[in-house]
Amino acid sequence: MTLSLRPIAEAEWSGWMTVEEEAFGAPILPHRAELYLGVTEFDRSLGVFDGDLLVGCTAVCSFTMTVPGGPIPVGGVTAVGVLPSHRRRGVLSSLMTRQLSDLHERGEAVAALYASEAAIYGRYGYGRAADSLVFRIPTAKAAFTRHAPVDPGLRLRIVRPAEARATFEKIHDSALDERPGLYARTSGRWDSVLSDHEADQGGAGPLRAVVVEDDHGARGYALFRIRPSWTEDDVFDGELRLKELFGLDPAAYALLWRHLLDRDLVSHVTAQNRPSDDPLIHLLAEPRMLHARWLDELWIRVVDVERALPARRYSAPVDVVIDVEDDVCPWNARRWRLTADTSAARCVPCDDPADLAMPVSVLGAAYLGGRPLAALLAAGVVRESRAGALRELSTAMSWDAAPWGGTIF
């Protein structure tokens, strides 16, 4: 039967849920489906149909995301799935190609996603732009270095998450400009972050929160759960599971972590998604006690080279001709001259000899400023025709702080 592709209607939501459950192999509980429905943009949600049967889907969330230099519109790609019965028929390729074309037509020069499998999205031009760390910290060995900042004017306040939502929103909004990859949260996103259904708790009890503040207002917050436990010898063995933590200055940040690590009856603190340059690395006297694991986080796709590269700022002057290889978005596949200083940038098509040749995924990997390019040259992914051109581009695209999206969408 012939397959067709089109945006889905809200009346087709149950079919969408079926595809998601089958593709990811897990049930979507009713309260999660309701939260998901609240952030779905149906005009940006594509489905592939086999007759009347929905067999594949993908969606885009309209985000404002921080990139080096400030916020830009970004298409947040999510809910990519194909029924197992319809794999190897080109369903995914048709969805991803159409989606990128739609993004281009809407004028969104950059797309972002979290990958369920890292091997999938490089085929469609996405590059690994951000990394995250997973911590498992034994509280008995979590002393801070003597250089940890202390502000005697700060104090902690235990709050109910649902009642302190406005405080969380204000702090999160204040943190956005500091880190590429963070995106502004809609009301629906906050509903999801603060959801406290029994199924969200995972055996770790209700969502808890603490705010750090001074006389001028809140300076940070942490959201977490605690799973109480005792050993056979009746020794406490509780686990504190950090959901998120934002501190607007070093002393507030340090005080929040100190509070979490000092909670009574907790033997270890786990954090599933922390930035790769998390300051906690430098606060612990023994950083090996982080027991850190390294994972990929945000993946970025440069949808429109001509608009995306001037939309961000650069850390150093650069003047290079880049031969971009792009099999999915043909409007990108040519040579481009990027000229920039620390205040402005310009990217125009040209016929000059290329200094560098690279797949478009490399530009995506470097776009948020956290991916040095030398290793990609050593791996043969990038080819350099003018000596020093890669270092020039890599230096210009670098940025502090390290990119990090913080919350899977």
CATH of the domain at 44: 3.40.630.30
Per-residue pLDDT at 396: 98
Residue 78, domain member (yes or no): yes
Per-residue pLDDT at 2: 86
Residue 403, domain member (yes or no): no
Q: What is the pLDDT of residues 240-296, one digit of tens each?
A: 999 999 999 999 999 999 999 999 999 999 999 999 999 999 999 999 999 999 999
What Cα–Cα distance (Å) separates residue 102 from each residue in 59, 193, 358?
Answer: 11, 29, 24
- Give the residue numbers spanning the domain of 239: 132-295
Statement to judge: residues 140 and 268 lie in one domain? yes
SS3 label, residue 375: helix
Statement to judge: residues 78 and 98 lie in one domain? yes
The whole-number average pLDDT for the span 193-208 is 94
Domain-terminating residue out of 266, 295, 324: 295
Residue 113, domain member (yes or no): no
Statement to judge: residues 342 and 314 lie in one domain? yes
Only one residue has tokens 């048709």, namely 94
Confidence of residue 118 (pLDDT cuts 50, 70, 90): confident
Statement to judge: residues 318 and 355 lie in one domain? yes
Statement to judge: residues 257 and 181 lie in one domain? yes
Contacts of 76 (CB under 8 A, 6+ apart): 60, 61, 62, 63, 65, 111, 112, 113, 183, 409
For the entire predicted model, the pTM comes to 0.96
Statement to judge: residues 21 and 151 lie in one domain? no
Residue 126, domain member (yes or no): no
The whole-number average pLDDT for the span 172-189 is 97
Confidence of residue 325 (pLDDT cuts 50, 70, 90): very high
Statement to judge: residues 245 and 280 lie in one domain? yes
Residue 155 has pLDDT above 90, yes or no: yes
| Percentage of the chain exceeding pLDDT 90 | 99
159 belongs to an annotated ligand binding site: no
Statement to judge: residues 371 and 224 lie in one domain? no
Token duo for residue 337: 């001259």
Domain-terminating residue out of 236, 260, 295: 295
Residue 162 has pLDDT above 80, yes or no: yes
Statement to judge: residues 309 and 343 lie in one domain? yes
Statement to judge: residues 157 and 235 lie in one domain? yes
Q: What is the pLDDT of residues 380-405, one digit of tens each?
A: 999 999 999 999 999 999 999 999 99
Residue 376, domain member (yes or no): yes
Is 224 designated active site? no
Per-residue pLDDT at 380: 97
Q: Which candidate in 224, 253, 367, 409 is catalytic?
A: 409
Per-residue pLDDT at 406: 96
Q: Which candidate in 121, 135, 168, 221 is catalytic?
A: 121
Residue 219 has pLDDT above 70, yes or no: yes
210 belongs to an annotated ligand binding site: no
Statement to judge: residues 347 and 281 lie in one domain? no
Is 121 designated active site? yes
Domain count, the chain: 3
Token duo for residue 249: 């200055």
DSSP state of 279: T
Per-residue pLDDT at 43: 96
Q: What is the pLDDT of residues 107-116, one digit of tens each?
A: 999 999 999 9
Q: Residue 219 in contact with residue 247, Cβ under 8 Å?
A: yes
Cα–Cα–Cα angle for 120, 126, 131, rounded to 5 degrees: 90
Residue 407, domain member (yes or no): no
CATH of the domain at 393: 3.30.1050.10
DSSP one-letter string for 99-130: HHHHHHHHT--EEEEE-SSHHHHGGGT-EE--
Residue 116, domain member (yes or no): no
Q: Going by DSSP bridges, is the β-strand pair 45-50/3-7 parallel, antiparallel, or unpaired? A: antiparallel
46 DSSP β-pair partners: 7, 58
Structural element, H or E, at residue 76: strand 70-82
280 belongs to an annotated ligand binding site: no
CA distance 151 to 149: 7
21 belongs to an annotated ligand binding site: no
Per-residue pLDDT at 1: 61
Statement to judge: residues 172 and 286 lie in one domain? yes
Domain-terminating residue out of 75, 108, 141: 108
SS3 label, residue 201: helix
Per-residue pLDDT at 87: 92
128 belongs to an annotated ligand binding site: no
Residue 192, domain member (yes or no): yes
